[in-house]
Amino acid sequence: MKVMLVDDSRTIRNIQRNVLSQLGYTDIVEAGDGVEALARMAEGMPELMLIDWNMPNMDGITLVRKIRETNKTIPLIMVTTEAEKTRVIEAIKAGVNNYCIKPFTVESLGEKINQTLGKATAAATA
């Protein structure tokens, strides 16, 4: 399963990569902002995306809206330091499936990923 990590911090992408590899996911592509993410998606659709909010060029909330214009099913997890309720609601309205607040532990991010993929699988087979 291909996973795309979208975050302007390479350090965060490396940490996420480690969490994913512990869960058994090693087919990973990375993007440093929303524009790069769209370009990578055109090369091959991932089956899960972790998306940061604050990034240069195109932020995460804009990226989520752009993805949802054409793709309603790909599981999207917002992973961000934006923690206000209003932001979480805004992200859910834009179409994210789950929301993980930074700072995160390896366990909490892993749980969000499993939760999101479990729900997505259940929805697809329902």
Q: Does 14 bind Mg ion (CB under 5 A)?
A: no
- The residue ranges that bind other proteins (CB under 8 A) are 8-12, 14-15, 18, 54-56, 80-84, 86, 101-105
Q: Minimum distance between the CB of residue 37 and Mg ion, rounded to whole angstroms?
A: 13
Q: Does 82 bind Mg ion (CB under 5 A)?
A: no
* Beta strands at 27-31 and 2-6: parallel, antiparallel or unpaired: parallel
Contact indicator for 28, 17 with CB cutoff of 8 Å: yes
Residue 15 interaction partner, one of other proteins, Mg ion, none, beta carbon < 5-8 Å per kind: other proteins
- Map residues 53-72 to x or -, x wherever contact with Mg ion holds by CB under 5 A: -x------------------
Cα 3 versus chain centre, distance: 9
